Amino acid sequence: MMRKTRALVAGTAALALTLSAAACGGSDSDSSSGSGAKAEFNAALTKVFNASEKKGGTIKLANAGDWDSLDPGETYYGYSWNFLRLYARGLLTFNPVPGPEGNELTPDLAEGMGTPSDGGKTWTYKIRKGVKFEDGTEVTSKDVKYAVLRSTDKETFPSGPAYFEGFLNLPEGYKGPYKSKGVNTDSAITTPDDQTIVFHLKSAFGGFDYIAALPQTAPVPEAKDTGAKYKEHVISTGPYKFETNNLGKDFKLVRNDQWDQATDPFRKALPDAYEVQLNVNADDIDNRLLSGDLDIDITGTGVQPAALGRVVGDPALKAQTDNPTLARLWYTSINPTVAPFDNIDCRKAVEYAADRVGYQTAYGGPLAGGEIATSVLPPQIPGAAKVDLYSAGADNTGDAAKAKEALTACGQPNGFATNISYRAERPKEKAAAESLQQSLGKVGIQLTLKPFPQGDYFSQYAGNPGYVKSNNLGLVVNGWGADWNDGFGFLSQIVDSRVIRETGGSSNTSVRIPEVDTMLDAAIAETDAAKREAAWAAIDKRVMEEAVIFPGIVAKSLIIRPKRLSNVFVSEAFSMYDYLSLGVA
């Protein structure tokens, strides 16, 4: 259920206009107007940089890889959810504004937020009048229903999120509208009239609005649906539509004349076109952003190590970057199933001995890597509280004395040997494993590095309880980012022992605390938001007390701000620039 990021490739964001010109102060030819246009570090982090209402121009973007799918029903990348709002409108979306409000939901195709009834088991949404597809037909609630139903067909759309089929009360054995043609699905979704859509859930879920904000609710006209091939030409409901689309190579969005500003509360639709290039070398993207040939690296995951030194080392370049924090934890699991980690004191020895600064450096340092985490919940998750149970010495490089004490209490005063696994394709995880090998080695815990292919990392190796035990994978380098920023999304897949499958496949390998499972159930059922948020914090603390997770770092990325563009700001929901409001200055 995790939204994917390109962790291996750290991409970038945004362009800086000819920096040499900026550096020598020679040219003021770019007459960028608007307020707050002083280029400084983090200038677009919490406020709009270079505000403007000027229309026209083309925004140029590049992607070091490729989309999983351009089809809103299937795509599962955060950057894609951010970007697709240019050509698709779901029921709700994250508010395209700077600052913490960017984390809040706002109605898009729907007129308002969902109305729960039946104790949270039924959710009703009203759809705006006058929204049209690019061919001029009006969008009805049936198009939304059809879009949601087709997205549940995981044979046709294997990579999409699976929340709807999990929550909706679909008929037994329902396989989507292609294979289960004509099956009555009114038990799951009803459309009393063209403007109303009602979702019927299996059990109460207070946070259903987050599900309704999935791009899978973007309407799809049944007559134009081509199944798995729909991604070649998505029928637009937003201000832009596909002009060309060469899969795996490039595509271009141009204005959709059927889109009506009056039906849209927040889209500015300033530029005339968006040009996107795919499968561009990541280092090449950095260089082109810096030279001004490109505006934005669409994946928004930050500069490559090669460009990092150049950008950070030059004050003029650094002033054109932003450094958002992501709701993503790069941590290491400490597996109690592997001796001697069955003893809590041996697990604590790892927490004490680990060099937190070294771990941070492995992921790229405080700017490009992240900030040191002391517990599981990242700070931007509502309810997160500071939990710091284990001292790490004065300079955060590990507390050898405490670690030795813990080792003695564990009955292994001279240390022991165990293994640490990481994903072979990820140099940062390798560096993290080497860092732990170094710092734990100082107190006598000898680690052997075990790289595994990332494709099978959780299914065959580090996420497979049997394999972990028989191969003594005491430590597992791990990472987690939520689909949206709340405690349920962040915690449920990594601290609930019931998600551990004996056949493998779960990100959770080490947290098996019955008390935490009970606490989670209580928190999910809690309807009072404040109480629920306090419950997430309590769970966080309880997990840390058991020392089954070394929290590592909360990710940050260093993204290059596009100097040529206006209305640049970081969306807190996506932790990258908001792609809806940009214009060409």
**Rounded least distance, CB 308 to other proteins, Å:** 5
Q: Residue 521 CB, nearest distance to other proteins (Å)?
A: 40
CB of 361 to other proteins, least distance (A): 6
Task: Enter the tokens of residue 314.
Answer: 């030059």
Which of 100, 192, 248, 309 lies at the binding interface for other proteins (CB under 8 A)?
309
Nearest distance from C-beta of residue 552 to other proteins, angstroms: 15
What is the amino acid identity at position 115? Answer: T
Q: Give the Cα separation of 28 and 114 in Å (integer).
A: 49
- Supply 528's token pair: 């009072």
- Which two structure tokens, joined as six digits, stand for 118? 């039946």
Helix and strand totals (H; E) in the chain: 18, 23
Beta carbon of residue 528, minimum distance to other proteins (angstroms, whole number)? 42
Taking the complex as a whole, the smallest distance from the CB of residue 571 to other proteins amounts, in Å, to 24
Interface pick for other proteins out of 136, 173, 313, 514 (rule CB under 8 A): 313
3-state helix, strand, coil in the chain (%, to 5): 30, 20, 50
Q: How far, in Å, CA of 171 to CA of 189, rounded?
A: 11
- Among 367, 381, 468, 494, the residue binding other proteins under the rule CB under 8 A is 367
Q: Of the ranges 142-150, 170-178, 309-317, 372-380, which one interacts with other proteins (CB under 8 A)?
A: 309-317
Q: Which letter, b or e, does each residue of 459-495 get, where b requires 16 or more Cβ atoms within 10 Å of its Cβ?
A: eebbbbbebbeeebbbbbbbbbbbbbbbbbbbbbbbb
Q: Which two tokens stand for residue 551?
A: 């929290």
The CA distance from 277 to 495, in Å, is 39
Tokens of 16: 């800086």
202, 310, 386, 469: residue in contact with other proteins (rule CB under 8 A): 310
Residue 407 CB, shortest distance to other proteins, in Å, is 21
What is the C-alpha to C-alpha distance for residues 352 and 389, in angstroms, rounded to an integer?
10
Nearer to other proteins, 159 or 361 (CB): 361
Give the span between the Cα atoms of 434 and 432, in whole angstroms: 5
Task: From 166-174, 360-368, 478-486, 572-580, give the range in contact with other proteins by CB under 8 A.
Answer: 360-368
The distance of closest approach from Cβ of residue 240 to other proteins in the complex, given in angstroms and rounded to an integer, is: 36
Count of chain residues binding other proteins (CB under 8 A): 36
Partners of residue 318 on adjacent β-strands: none
Query: For the window 377-416, what string marks contact with other proteins as x by the rule CB under 8 A?
Result: ----------------------------------------
Which lies closer to other proteins via its Cβ, residue 95 or residue 439? Answer: 439
Q: Report in angstroms how near the CB of residue 468 gets to other proteins at its nearest.
A: 14
Contact stretch for other proteins (CB under 8 A) within 15-23, 228-236, 351-359, 379-387 = 351-359
In the list 102, 336, 340, 364, the residue contacting other proteins (rule: CB under 8 A) is 364
Closest by Cα among 230, 194, 223, 198 to 212: 198
CA distance 368 to 130: 44
- Between 172 and 395, CB nearer to other proteins: 395
Residues 234-293 binding other proteins (CB under 8 A) are 283
Q: Which is nearer to other proteins, 136 or 313 (CB)?
A: 313
Q: Does 304 bind other proteins (CB under 8 A)?
A: yes
Closer to other proteins by Cβ: residue 361 or 374 = 361
Least Å distance, CB 288 to other proteins, is 16
Q: How far is the CB of 286 from other proteins (least distance, A)?
A: 10
Cα separation values, 448 from 163, 273, 430, 438, 572, Å: 38, 52, 12, 11, 38
CB nearer to other proteins: give 324 or 358: 358
Long-range contacts of 171-177 (CB under 8 A, 24+ apart): 176/149, 176/150, 176/151, 176/152, 177/146, 177/149, 177/150, 177/153, 177/222
Chain residues 427-466 in contact with other proteins, contact rule CB under 8 A: 427, 430-431, 433-435, 437-438, 448-451, 453
Kindly state the smallest distance separating residue 502's Cβ from other proteins, in Å. Answer: 22
**Closer by beta carbon to other proteins, 10 or else 495:** 10
Nearer to other proteins, 165 or 399 (CB): 399
Angle at 254 between CA 252 and CA 256, to 5 degrees: 140
Rounded-to-integer distance, Cα 369 and Cα 326, Å = 10
Nearer to other proteins, 99 or 365 (CB): 365
Question: Which residues share a beta bridge with 549?
Answer: 333
3-state DSSP of 339-397: CCCCCHHHHHHHHHHCCHHHHHHHCCHHHHCEEECCCCCCCCCCCCCCCCCCCCCCCCC
Instruction: State which of residues 64, 88, 317, 357 lies at the interface with other proteins (CB under 8 A).
Output: 357
Comparing CB distances to other proteins, the nearer of 25 and 313 is: 313
Catalog residues that contact other proteins under the rule CB under 8 A: 283, 304-310, 312-313, 355, 357-358, 360-362, 364-368, 424, 427, 430-431, 433-435, 437-438, 448-451, 453, 471
